[in-house]
Structure 1
Protein backbone atom coordinates (compact mmCIF):
# COMPACT_ATOMS: atom_id res chain seq x y z
CA UNK A 1 0.00 0.00 0.00
CA UNK A 2 1.46 3.32 -1.07
CA UNK A 3 -0.02 5.71 1.47
CA UNK A 4 1.88 6.86 4.53
CA UNK A 5 0.58 6.21 8.03
CA UNK A 6 0.34 9.96 8.52
CA UNK A 7 -1.79 10.37 5.39
CA UNK A 8 -4.04 7.48 6.46
CA UNK A 9 -4.56 9.13 9.85
CA UNK A 10 -5.47 12.45 8.20
CA UNK A 11 -7.86 10.76 5.76
CA UNK A 12 -9.65 8.78 8.50
CA UNK A 13 -9.89 11.71 10.90
CA UNK A 14 -11.24 14.02 8.20
CA UNK A 15 -13.77 11.44 6.98
CA UNK A 16 -15.08 10.85 10.50
CA UNK A 17 -15.37 14.58 11.19
CA UNK A 18 -17.42 15.12 8.01
CA UNK A 19 -19.34 11.87 7.50
CA UNK A 20 -19.66 10.72 11.13
CA UNK A 21 -17.75 8.33 13.38
CA UNK A 22 -19.42 5.26 11.91
CA UNK A 23 -18.23 5.91 8.35
CA UNK A 24 -15.88 3.45 6.67
CA UNK A 25 -13.04 4.48 4.37
CA UNK A 26 -11.60 2.12 1.76
CA UNK A 27 -8.47 2.64 -0.30
CA UNK A 28 -8.65 0.92 -3.67
CA UNK A 29 -7.00 1.01 -7.07
CA UNK A 30 -3.32 1.23 -7.90
CA UNK A 31 -2.25 2.48 -4.46
CA UNK A 32 -3.31 -0.85 -2.96
CA UNK A 33 -2.19 -3.24 -5.66
CA UNK A 34 0.88 -1.57 -7.15
CA UNK A 35 3.97 -0.47 -5.21
CA UNK A 36 5.41 1.67 -8.00
CA UNK A 37 5.25 5.44 -7.93
CA UNK A 38 2.28 7.24 -9.41
CA UNK A 39 -1.45 6.82 -9.47
CA UNK A 40 -4.23 8.79 -7.94
CA UNK A 41 -5.68 8.25 -4.49
CA UNK A 42 -8.92 6.28 -4.90
CA UNK A 43 -11.18 6.31 -1.84
CA UNK A 44 -14.62 4.92 -1.06
CA UNK A 45 -16.50 6.35 1.89
CA UNK A 46 -19.52 4.45 3.21
CA UNK A 47 -21.70 6.54 5.49
CA UNK A 48 -24.88 6.01 7.48
CA UNK A 49 -25.88 9.64 6.94
CA UNK A 50 -26.88 10.10 3.28
CA UNK A 51 -27.67 13.83 3.61
CA UNK A 52 -25.74 16.48 1.64
CA UNK A 53 -23.32 13.92 0.19
CA UNK A 54 -22.03 16.16 -2.60
CA UNK A 55 -21.25 19.02 -0.23
CA UNK A 56 -19.57 16.64 2.22
CA UNK A 57 -17.56 15.00 -0.55
CA UNK A 58 -16.22 18.33 -1.81
CA UNK A 59 -15.41 19.48 1.72
CA UNK A 60 -13.62 16.18 2.42
CA UNK A 61 -11.49 16.41 -0.73
CA UNK A 62 -10.51 20.02 -0.03
CA UNK A 63 -9.53 19.31 3.58
CA UNK A 64 -7.56 16.18 2.72
CA UNK A 65 -5.63 18.05 0.02
CA UNK A 66 -4.75 20.74 2.58
CA UNK A 67 -3.47 18.07 4.96
CA UNK A 68 -1.59 15.67 2.67
CA UNK A 69 -0.73 17.90 -0.26
CA UNK A 70 -2.19 18.62 -3.66
CA UNK A 71 -2.62 15.33 -5.47
CA UNK A 72 -5.33 13.71 -7.54
CA UNK A 73 -7.95 12.24 -5.23
CA UNK A 74 -10.99 10.35 -6.48
CA UNK A 75 -13.72 9.86 -3.89
CA UNK A 76 -16.84 7.73 -4.10
CA UNK A 77 -19.40 8.31 -1.37
CA UNK A 78 -22.22 5.83 -0.85
CA UNK A 79 -24.87 5.22 1.76
CA UNK A 80 -23.99 2.12 3.77
CA UNK A 81 -27.68 1.41 4.33
CA UNK A 82 -28.61 1.37 0.63
CA UNK A 83 -25.68 0.02 -1.41
CA UNK A 84 -26.04 -0.13 -5.18
CA UNK A 85 -25.38 -3.74 -6.11
CA UNK A 86 -25.24 -2.76 -9.81
CA UNK A 87 -22.44 -0.21 -9.31
CA UNK A 88 -19.35 -2.15 -10.42
CA UNK A 89 -16.87 0.50 -9.26
CA UNK A 90 -18.47 0.41 -5.81
CA UNK A 91 -18.21 -3.38 -5.72
CA UNK A 92 -14.51 -3.23 -6.71
CA UNK A 93 -13.82 -0.52 -4.14
CA UNK A 94 -15.21 -2.74 -1.38
CA UNK A 95 -12.45 -5.24 -2.24
CA UNK A 96 -9.86 -2.58 -1.39
CA UNK A 97 -8.10 -1.91 1.91
CA UNK A 98 -10.30 -0.75 4.78
CA UNK A 99 -8.46 2.13 6.47
Structure 2
Protein backbone atom coordinates (compact mmCIF):
# COMPACT_ATOMS: atom_id res chain seq x y z
CA UNK A 1 0.00 0.00 0.00
CA UNK A 2 1.45 3.31 -1.07
CA UNK A 3 0.28 5.76 1.58
CA UNK A 4 1.89 6.58 4.89
CA UNK A 5 0.50 5.93 8.35
CA UNK A 6 0.17 9.71 8.80
CA UNK A 7 -1.91 9.92 5.63
CA UNK A 8 -4.09 7.04 6.82
CA UNK A 9 -4.67 8.87 10.10
CA UNK A 10 -5.59 12.05 8.23
CA UNK A 11 -8.04 10.16 6.00
CA UNK A 12 -9.68 8.45 8.98
CA UNK A 13 -9.92 11.71 10.92
CA UNK A 14 -11.48 13.54 7.96
CA UNK A 15 -14.00 10.76 7.34
CA UNK A 16 -14.97 10.69 11.00
CA UNK A 17 -15.31 14.47 11.22
CA UNK A 18 -17.46 14.69 8.09
CA UNK A 19 -19.48 11.46 8.23
CA UNK A 20 -19.37 10.30 11.83
CA UNK A 21 -17.41 7.71 13.78
CA UNK A 22 -19.27 4.78 12.19
CA UNK A 23 -17.97 5.67 8.71
CA UNK A 24 -15.63 3.13 7.14
CA UNK A 25 -13.03 4.12 4.55
CA UNK A 26 -11.51 1.86 1.92
CA UNK A 27 -8.47 2.64 -0.24
CA UNK A 28 -8.63 1.05 -3.68
CA UNK A 29 -7.09 1.47 -7.11
CA UNK A 30 -3.41 1.93 -7.89
CA UNK A 31 -2.50 3.09 -4.37
CA UNK A 32 -3.05 -0.39 -2.94
CA UNK A 33 -0.56 -1.87 -5.39
CA UNK A 34 3.07 -1.65 -4.30
CA UNK A 35 4.28 -2.24 -7.87
CA UNK A 36 2.37 0.77 -9.28
CA UNK A 37 3.67 4.31 -9.52
CA UNK A 38 1.96 7.66 -9.15
CA UNK A 39 -1.78 7.78 -9.37
CA UNK A 40 -4.54 9.53 -7.54
CA UNK A 41 -6.04 8.40 -4.26
CA UNK A 42 -9.26 6.42 -4.67
CA UNK A 43 -11.43 6.13 -1.57
CA UNK A 44 -14.74 4.47 -0.83
CA UNK A 45 -16.67 5.91 2.11
CA UNK A 46 -19.06 3.26 3.43
CA UNK A 47 -21.96 4.42 5.59
CA UNK A 48 -24.80 2.63 7.39
CA UNK A 49 -27.19 5.59 7.22
CA UNK A 50 -28.69 7.47 4.31
CA UNK A 51 -26.82 10.51 2.99
CA UNK A 52 -28.81 13.64 2.18
CA UNK A 53 -26.11 15.35 0.09
CA UNK A 54 -23.72 12.69 -1.26
CA UNK A 55 -22.03 14.94 -3.83
CA UNK A 56 -21.26 17.55 -1.18
CA UNK A 57 -19.93 14.94 1.26
CA UNK A 58 -17.77 13.38 -1.44
CA UNK A 59 -16.34 16.77 -2.44
CA UNK A 60 -15.67 17.77 1.16
CA UNK A 61 -13.84 14.55 1.97
CA UNK A 62 -11.83 14.75 -1.24
CA UNK A 63 -10.80 18.32 -0.42
CA UNK A 64 -9.80 17.49 3.16
CA UNK A 65 -7.73 14.49 2.11
CA UNK A 66 -6.16 16.34 -0.82
CA UNK A 67 -4.97 19.10 1.51
CA UNK A 68 -3.53 16.51 3.90
CA UNK A 69 -1.69 14.87 0.99
CA UNK A 70 -0.10 18.03 -0.43
CA UNK A 71 -2.64 18.54 -3.21
CA UNK A 72 -2.74 14.96 -4.50
CA UNK A 73 -5.89 14.27 -6.55
CA UNK A 74 -8.48 12.35 -4.52
CA UNK A 75 -11.60 10.59 -5.78
CA UNK A 76 -14.29 9.59 -3.29
CA UNK A 77 -17.14 7.13 -3.84
CA UNK A 78 -19.92 6.83 -1.30
CA UNK A 79 -21.78 3.63 -0.46
CA UNK A 80 -24.94 4.24 1.56
CA UNK A 81 -28.37 2.58 1.80
CA UNK A 82 -30.11 5.32 -0.19
CA UNK A 83 -27.60 5.35 -3.06
CA UNK A 84 -27.51 3.09 -6.08
CA UNK A 85 -24.94 0.31 -5.81
CA UNK A 86 -22.68 0.34 -8.87
CA UNK A 87 -20.10 -2.20 -10.06
CA UNK A 88 -17.29 0.15 -8.95
CA UNK A 89 -18.52 -0.16 -5.35
CA UNK A 90 -18.18 -3.95 -5.52
CA UNK A 91 -14.71 -3.64 -7.03
CA UNK A 92 -13.61 -1.16 -4.36
CA UNK A 93 -14.82 -3.43 -1.56
CA UNK A 94 -13.34 -6.62 -3.02
CA UNK A 95 -9.96 -5.21 -4.11
CA UNK A 96 -9.58 -2.39 -1.60
CA UNK A 97 -7.97 -2.15 1.81
CA UNK A 98 -9.94 -0.87 4.77
CA UNK A 99 -8.15 1.98 6.48
TM-score for both structures, normalised by structure 2: 0.87
Instruction: Report what 1:44 is aligned to.
Output: 44
1:20 aligns to what?
20
Q: CA deviation at 1:84?
A: 4.3
Q: Is the 8 A contact 2:45 2:77 kept in 1?
A: yes
Q: Shift in Å at residue 39 of structure 1?
A: 1.3
Alignment of 1:9-88 (within 5 A): 9-49=9-49, 50-79=51-80, 81=81, 84-85=84-85, 87-88=86-87
Please list every run of 5 or more consecutive structure 1 residues that lacks an aligned counterpart in the other structure: none
Preserved CA contact (<8 Å) 1:23 1:48 = yes
Paired residues of 2:41 and 2:75 also in contact (CA < 8 A): yes
Give the RMSD, CA atoms, in angstroms.
Answer: 1.6
Q: Where does the alignment leave 5 or more consecutive residues of structure 2 unmatched?
A: none
Cα displacement (A) at 1:34: 3.7
What is the number of residues matched between the two proteins?
97
